[in-house]
Amino acid sequence: VVRWQLSPPQRPLQASAVLRRVSDEHKKEPLASSSQQQFDSHPADHQPGQEPQGPDPSYTGQGSQESEDYESEEQLQHRILTAALEFVPEHGWTAEAIAEGAKALGLSAAAAGMFQSDGSQLILHFLSQCNTKLSELLEQEQKLVQQGEAEKKPIDQFLRDAVEARLRMVIPYLERWPQALSILLMPHNIPSSLSLLSSMIDDILHYAGDQSTDINWYTRRAVLTGIYNTTELVMMQDSSPDFEDTWRFLENRIADAMKMGDTANQVQSTGEAIVQGLMGAAVTIKNLTGLNQRR
Amino acid sequence: MSGLSPAGGRAALCLSLSLSRRRGALRGFAAGPQTHFGFQTVTEEERREKSERGGGGGARSVQPPGLRAGARLGVNQVFESVAKKYDVMNDSMTLGIHRLWKDVLVRKMNPSPGTQLLDVAGGTGDIAFRFINYVRSVRERQLQRRLKHHQNLSWQEIAQSYQEDKSPLGGSQVVVCDINKEMLKVGKEKAQDLGYSEGLSWVLGNAEELPFDDDKFDVYTIAFGIRNVTRIDLALQEAYRVLKPGGRFLCLEFSQVSNPLLSRLYDLYSFQVIPVLGEVIAGDWKSYQYLVESIRRFPPQEELKAMIEDAGFFKVDYQNLNSGIVAIHSGFKL
C-alpha cells in the first residue's frame, strides 16, 4: 500500500484536540479503516492509506502523522465516514449524513466540510469497506478448504455465493442505493468507482482459482462484471421474500456464462468445419468450371 | 509620505520591513516591535491603537477613507466617519465582484441548521447575512422534507410534531465581532433595514484577544480582515481556541496572483485606479494607497497556509478565486 508522507509536521501533536492515540484506535475493529483495493491477491493487513477520492481542485497539504502515536487525519476521516453510515437510511448519501456522523463522534458538524459535498466519499468508503469484508470472507473460505474442513465448491456455485454475499451487504441501505449508484456514475467519480468494482471482481475470480494468462483473463472479468451489475439492478426493484428472484436471476446468468464458454468452443469447431466445407465447395466448383486446369 | 510614526520618521519602502518586525524594539527610537503599515514602518502599538479608536479596524475589503490632513495614518483612523461609505467603495473597487467572493465563501462553508458562526472583522455584516440566508433555505428544505413524511399520522405523532423544533433557523447563530464601533453600528443599521433580526449578535472585540470562551463555535470566518490584524499568529491562535473540536476556520483574503500577465494588469489597476476612486468617491487617496500596499505586503497563499498549520489546524488548503486575486484558506480543528 502506497502511503504518501508529506513534509514532516513541525507543530506539537499534543495540540490536536480530536486525533486519538493509535493505541485506542487498535482496540476498535479494523474494519473502520479500509484502504483502496489493489490488484494483489492477498489484501491482508489493511493499513489506512489513500482514500478513494476524485480529483481535488484545491491544494491539500497536511501529511499523515501515523509514524507518531496519534492517528492521522485519514484515519479520523474513516472513523467519521463509518459513523455516518448509520445515518444514511435517514438522510441519504449526503453531506448531511456525514455531518450527523461527525456529531455522533463528538465533533462539530462543520467537520463534514472535510469531505466533498456530494457525498461521494461516503459511498466510496462504504464500497471499499464491503470489498474488504468480501475478501476476508473469501480468504476464510479458502483457508477452510485448504485445511480440508470444507469441500471445494464447483465454480458456478462459488461465483454465485460470492456475488450473493457481496450484494447482501448492500441490503441495509437498499432504499438509498439508487441514489448512490447515480452519484457514482458522475464523471468525476467514475475512475474511483470503476477501480473499486474491478478490484472486487478480480478478487472474486482470484479466489475462484482463475489463473488464465490469455484473453480469457479479460473476458471472464468483463462477463462477471456484467453479471454483477445486472444482478444489482435487479435487486433494487425486487420485492420477493429475501430477494429470491434476484438470486434465481443470478443463478441463470451464471449458468448462461458457463454455457457460453462451452458454446464458444463449439462455435469455433463448427466454424472450422464450415470453413473447410466452403473451401471444398470452392475447389469443386473450380474443377467443374475447368479453372483448376493447368493450361 | 506625511503622517509617519514618531519613531523615526522613516518610510522604508523595501521589503526589509518584514525583518524589522522580527527584530523587536531595537530600531532607532521605536518604543516597541516595528511592523509595517502599507510600505511604511510603524510600531505595533500604534498600528493596533489606531485600530481601536474611532475608526475602522478588523477586516474590510476597503479601508474607508477618513484621513485628515496631518493626521497619522493608522489602520483605524482611516475608518472614522467612513464606515458608511464602505460598501460603496467595495462595490466600485471590485466592480461588485466582492459579492461573488463572499457567496463562494458561504457556499464552501455549506452550513447546516444549528451551526454557530463567529464572523470576525465582519463589521458591516456581509458574511453574516449570507450565512443567515443560506441556513434559512436549507432549513426550509429540511422542514419540507419532514412534511412529506407526514402522511397518515397517528394522533400521537401529530402531538409530537408540535413539540418539534420548527424554528426558521434551526438554532443557528451568528456572532459578528469587530474591533471598530462604527462598523458595527453600520452593520446593525443594515440588519434592521434588510430585516434580519433573529440569530444575530454584535460584539466589540479584538481578533487577537477574542472575548469568548473556548470551544464555542462551529465555524470561524474572517473575510478581508486578517490583513489588518497586527499579529496574525495571535489571531489564528485565538481562532483555534474558540472553535469546537471539528470546527472549521475559513479565511477570505486578497492574495498573490500567479499569472504574470494578469499580475501586471492587476498592479496597474491597483496602483493607478483604486486610489483615484478613493479620492473621487470617498475623498481620501492615502487610505486606498495603504490598502493596495497592504495587499502586496500580505503573505502569499503557501505562507499563510503554513501559518494556519502552525496554529494547530489540520487539513489546511486554499482555493484561488480569480487566479489568485483572492484566496479562501480553510482549516479544521481536529
Please state the rounded mean pLDDT for residues B13-36.
Answer: 48
Q: All 3 cell numbers of residue A246? A: 434476484
Given a contact cutoff of 8 angstroms between Cβ atoms, the answer to whether B118 and B178 are in contact is no
DSSP for A134-195, please give it: HHHHHHHHHHHHHTTSSPPPPHHHHHHHHHHHHHHTTGGGGGGHHHHHHHHTSGGGHHHHHH
Please state the rounded mean pLDDT for residues B111-129.
Answer: 92
Per the structure, how many domains does chain A have?
Answer: 2
What pLDDT, on a 0 to 100 scale, did the predictor assign at position B285?
84
- Domain identity same for A105 and A136: no
> Is residue B309 left, alpha or beta, with left meaning phi > 0 and alpha meaning psi from -120 to 50?
alpha
Say yes or no for a CB contact (<8 Å) between B330 and A113: yes
- Domain identity same for A93 and A210: no
Given a contact cutoff of 8 angstroms between Cβ atoms, the answer to whether A207 and A139 are in contact is yes
Contacts of B219 in chain A (CB under 8 A): 110
Does residue A77 lie within any of the structural domains?
A: yes
Strand ranges (E), A18-130:
59-60
Contacts of B236 in chain A (CB under 8 A): none
A179 CA to chain B: closest CA distance, Å?
A: 16
Does residue A229 lie within any of the structural domains?
A: yes
Please state the rounded mean pLDDT for residues B137-142.
Answer: 91
What pLDDT, on a 0 to 100 scale, did the predictor assign at position A232?
94
Contacts of A11 in chain B (CB under 8 A): 309-310, 312
Q: Is A174 exposed, middle or buried (0-12, 13-18, 19+ CB in 10 A)?
A: middle
Say yes or no for a CB contact (<8 Å) between B309 and A62: yes
pLDDT higher for A8 or B315? Answer: B315
- Domain identity same for A128 and A203: yes
B288 φ, ψ (degrees, to nearest 5): -75, -25
Alpha carbon A105 to its chain's center: 27
Listed in sequence order, the residues at least 6 apart from B210 whose beta carbon sits closer than 8 Å to its beta carbon are B118, B120, B177, B238, B241, B242
- Domain identity same for A102 and A134: no
Say yes or no for a CB contact (<8 Å) between A18 and B318: no
Does residue A292 lie within any of the structural domains?
A: no
Chain A interface with B: residues with Cβ < 8 Å: 9-11, 15-19, 57-62, 73, 76, 95-96, 99, 102, 105-114, 117
A281: three-class secondary structure by DSSP: helix
- Domain identity same for A113 and A123: no
pLDDT means over runs of 10, chain A (295 residues): 45 56 48 40 38 41 48 90 94 93 93 92 96 95 90 90 95 93 93 95 92 87 93 93 94 90 79 90 89 72
| Touching A: B residues 259-318, CB under 8 Å | 301, 305, 309-310, 312, 314-318
What pLDDT, on a 0 to 100 scale, did the predictor assign at position A105?
93
What pLDDT, on a 0 to 100 scale, did the predictor assign at position A53?
41
Q: pLDDT by residue (tens digit) across B42-81?
A: 766 667 665 554 344 333 444 444 433 333 345 566 555 5
What pLDDT, on a 0 to 100 scale, did the predictor assign at position A214?
87
The size of the A-B interface in CB pairs under 8 A is 89
What pLDDT, on a 0 to 100 scale, did the predictor assign at position A179?
93
- Domain identity same for A135 and A200: yes
Chain B interface mutation, best of A53, A58, A64, highest count of B Cβ atoms under 10 Å = A58
Does residue A230 lie within any of the structural domains?
A: yes
What pLDDT, on a 0 to 100 scale, did the predictor assign at position B61?
43
- Provide the percentage of residues in chain B whose pLDDT is more than 70: 76
Q: β-pairing, B326-332 with B314-321?
A: antiparallel
- Which residue among A117, A152, A177 closes a domain? A117
- Which residue among A84, A117, A150 closes a domain? A117
What pLDDT, on a 0 to 100 scale, did the predictor assign at position A45?
37
Which of A62, A110, A117 is opposite residue B248, by nearest beta carbon? A110
Chain B interface mutation, best of A62, A100, A117, highest count of B Cβ atoms under 10 Å = A62
Say yes or no for a CB contact (<8 Å) between B319 and A58: yes
- What does the alpha-carbon distance between residue A56 and residue B10 come to, in Å, rounded to a whole number? 46
- Which residue among A99, A117, A135 closes a domain? A117
What pLDDT, on a 0 to 100 scale, did the predictor assign at position B282?
79
Say yes or no for a CB contact (<8 Å) between B248 and A11: no
Say yes or no for a CB contact (<8 Å) between B244 and A107: yes
Which of B115, B312, B315 is opposite residue A73, by nearest beta carbon? B315
- Domain identity same for A191 and A133: yes
CA distances from B278 to B121, B274, B325 (A): 21, 6, 19
What pLDDT, on a 0 to 100 scale, did the predictor assign at position A13?
43
Nearest to B256 by CA among B313, B321, B308: B321
Lowest mean pLDDT among B28-42, B183-197, B284-298: B28-42
What pLDDT, on a 0 to 100 scale, did the predictor assign at position A22?
55
- What does the alpha-carbon distance between residue B242 and residue B244 come to, in Å, rounded to a whole number? 7
Task: Find, in chain B, the residue whose alpha carbon is nearest to that of A16.
Answer: B334
Q: β-pairing, B217-223 with B314-321?
A: unpaired
A64 CA to chain B: closest CA distance, Å?
A: 10
Does residue A53 lie within any of the structural domains?
A: no
Does residue A223 lie within any of the structural domains?
A: yes
B188 at A interface, C-beta within 8 A? no
Beta bridge partners of B117: B174, B219
What pLDDT, on a 0 to 100 scale, did the predictor assign at position B206?
92
Listed in sequence order, the residues at least 6 apart from B73 whose beta carbon sits closer than 8 Å to its beta carbon are B1, B3, B4, B37, B38, B40, B42, B50, B67, B286, B287, B290
Beta bridge partners of B200: B174
CA distances from A224 to A126, A221, A243, B128 (A): 21, 5, 20, 54
Please state the rounded mean pLDDT for residues B110-116.
Answer: 93
Contacts of A17 in chain B (CB under 8 A): 245, 333-334
Identity of the highest mean pLDDT range in A11-25, A40-54, B8-22, B183-197: B183-197
Please state the rounded mean pLDDT for residues B203-225.
Answer: 94
Does pLDDT of B307 surpass 90?
yes
A232 CA to chain B: closest CA distance, Å?
A: 27
pTM (2 decimals)? Answer: 0.74
Does residue A172 lie within any of the structural domains?
A: yes
Listed in sequence order, the residues at least 6 apart from B8 whose beta carbon sits closer than 8 Å to its beta carbon are B27, B28, B29, B30, B41
- Domain identity same for A87 and A107: yes
- Domain identity same for A112 and A123: no
What pLDDT, on a 0 to 100 scale, did the predictor assign at position B175?
95
Say yes or no for a CB contact (<8 Å) between B112 and A111: no
- Domain identity same for A247 and A145: yes
Query: What angle in degrees, to the nearest 10, is found between the helix axes of A95-104 and A120-146?
Result: 70
What pLDDT, on a 0 to 100 scale, did the predictor assign at position B3?
42
Give me Rg for the CA atoms of chain B: 21
DSSP for B100-140, please give it: HHHHHHHHHH-PPTT-EEEEET-TT-HHHHHHHHHHHHHHH
Q: All 3 cell numbers of residue B322? A: 480569480
Which of A17, A96, A110 is opposite residue B115, by nearest beta carbon? A110
Per the structure, the complete domain to which residue A158 belongs is given by 119-264
Which of B112, B305, B330 is opposite residue A99, by nearest beta carbon? B112
**Average predicted confidence (pLDDT) for chain B:** 80
- Domain identity same for A91 and A172: no
Contacts of A9 in chain B (CB under 8 A): 309
A21 CA to chain B: closest CA distance, Å?
A: 13
A19 CA to chain B: closest CA distance, Å?
A: 6
Chain A interface mutation, best of B233, B243, B302, B315, highest count of A Cβ atoms under 10 Å = B315
- Domain identity same for A147 and A126: yes
Does residue A68 lie within any of the structural domains?
A: no
Say yes or no for a CB contact (<8 Å) between B315 and A114: yes
- What does the alpha-carbon distance between residue A128 and residue A193 come to, in Å, rounded to a whole number? 9
Reported confidence tier of residue B168, pLDDT bands at 50, 70, 90: confident
Torsion of CA A100, A104, A106, A107, to 10 degrees: -20
Which of B110, B243, B318 is opposite residue A58, by nearest beta carbon? B318
B110 at A interface, C-beta within 8 A? yes
Residue A194: CB atoms within 10 A of its CB come to 12
Reported confidence tier of residue B32, pLDDT bands at 50, 70, 90: low
